[in-house]
A = this chain, B = another copy of it.
Amino acid sequence: MVDNNHQVKHQQTSPEWGPTAWTHLSTVRTQSPLIQCITNFVSMDLMANTLLSAGASPAMIHSLQEIPDFTPRAAALCVNVGTLTAEWLPAMRAAAEAAGRAGKPWVLDPVAAGVSGFRLEACRELVGMRPTVVRGNGSEILALANASVGPSKGVDSSHESTDAVEAAKSLAKSSGCIVAVSGAVDFVTDGQRVVGAQNGVAMMQKITATGCSVTALIAAFVAIDPLHAFEATATALSIFGIAGEIGMDMAKGPASLRVHLIDSLYGLDQDTVVRRVNIISFS
């Protein structure tokens, strides 16, 4: 499934991923971490509902005036540049800085990083503020790693996630962040290790803001296990994918999949999670 040109080799599934994923999900449900989201207008509804269904407490708060009071009290921060304008950047910077100063994890979603010079520069500046995790699709991670405005296709990826694994490793090394690349397989790397979360269904890409929403879910998982951000990123991707798989059994198209995905995320039990988590290590 992974191109050998990328020097990643198949390994055995570790038996611990299932229980780890369950521990993460059940801890989110118990602790209900407060997740501040500075995100794009398209994603706000699905992102908030994803977090609520997982057991977290979302707060879409992006006012510059509130960040000093609010960000240090959040358990984690999610920054998403989807509908970026110059007016929103200062709040993103301020919140990232406040989270960093308070020792809180934060996650960056560099939506459409390569579609304009303005956006690429903004994303690179935010990566320079050292988010805990960066999650994007193949085109976004390639644009970030190569610092190039490319012939990318808006917000949808024109690259397979496998094409971006080396770029992700390189970005992780240079930035110090965990980097996740979403696609048919979701790869997660810290620059050394690479794992692939192989849950999910293709139709999830036909629902707007699923990528944004799983980034917020990563923030919630990292919030409750900040010392294992690499593992929390992989389990969040896997859990969201499992919810999509179960939802797909009932779906008749993208809109009913969206409904069933959220319902399934809400209803996931230990047995299902442990049995279905499909995370594979590459070396």
Verify A52–B253 contact, CB threshold 8 A. Answer: no
Verify B154–A74 contact, CB threshold 8 A. Answer: yes
- The segment from A1-9, A223-231, A263-271 found at the interface with B is A263-271
Which of the residues B45, B115, B251 comes within 8 Å of A46, measured between beta carbons? B45
Verify B60–A85 contact, CB threshold 8 A. Answer: no
Contacts of A255 in B (CB 8 A): 49, 53, 258-263, 266
Q: Is A194 an interface residue (CB 8 A)?
A: no
| 21 A-B residue pairings within 8 Å (CB atoms) | A32-B153, A34-B153, A41-B44, A41-B60, A48-B209, A49-B254, A52-B207, A53-B255, A57-B153, A59-B155, A63-B85, A64-B86, A65-B86, A66-B84, A66-B116, A69-B117, A69-B149, A87-B87, A255-B260, A255-B261, A258-B259
CB of A263, distance to nearest CB on chain B (Å): 3
Verify A58–B155 contact, CB threshold 8 A. Answer: yes
Q: Is A10 an interface residue (CB 8 A)?
A: no
State the interface size on chain A (CB cutoff 8 A).
Answer: 65
Q: Is A40 an interface residue (CB 8 A)?
A: yes
A196-229 at interface with B (beta carbon < 8 Å): 206-209
Cβ-closest chain B residue relative to A156 = B57
